[in-house]
Amino acid sequence: RILKGYRKRWKIECLFRALKTKGFRLENTHMTLPNHVTRLLCLLTLAYVRTVLVGIDQETALKKHGRRAWSVVTLGLRSLVRAYSHQAGASVDELLHLIRLWTPRQTTAVESVGY
């Protein structure tokens, strides 16, 4: 029971770490109005889910202990930034691939990885 509770807590910690310091930088908004903060948290949570889905699909080198060299969040965020940036000249195929990640069959991959 304790381990189950800790796993749930750890997932929440990972979400807030990503929202605050691992790319989304929520604290830099300096928002204080409750309605605005609520809407921003909802939007950032959706962006986080999309980032994880994209990151799971990315290949990366493994470290000596067998874990990824880059986190799923970092990989997903980099990929999304590149895909939506006009400077990178993202192809239509890459954007369509990212859009397809929203299909229901892809969301089951998140559960199997443990996010």
As a whole number of Å, the CA-based R_g of the chain is: 16
pTM: 0.61
Residue 9's pLDDT is 92
Q: What percent of the chain has pLDDT over 90?
A: 4
> How far is it, in rounded angstroms, from Cα 1 to Cα 43?
32
What digits encode the pLDDT tens for the residues 19-38? Answer: 887 778 888 888 888 888 88
Residue 6's pLDDT is 92
> How far is it, in rounded angstroms, from Cα 73 to Cα 60?
12
Tokens found for residue 16: 């807030």
Question: Which position has the higher pLDDT, 87 or 10?
Answer: 10
> How far is it, in rounded angstroms, from Cα 31 to Cα 25?
12
Tokens found for residue 50: 């999309």
Taking the domains of the chain in order of start, what are their residue ranges?
2-113
> How far is it, in rounded angstroms, from Cα 56 to Cα 98?
12
Question: Is 55:71 a contact under the CB 8 Å cutoff?
Answer: yes
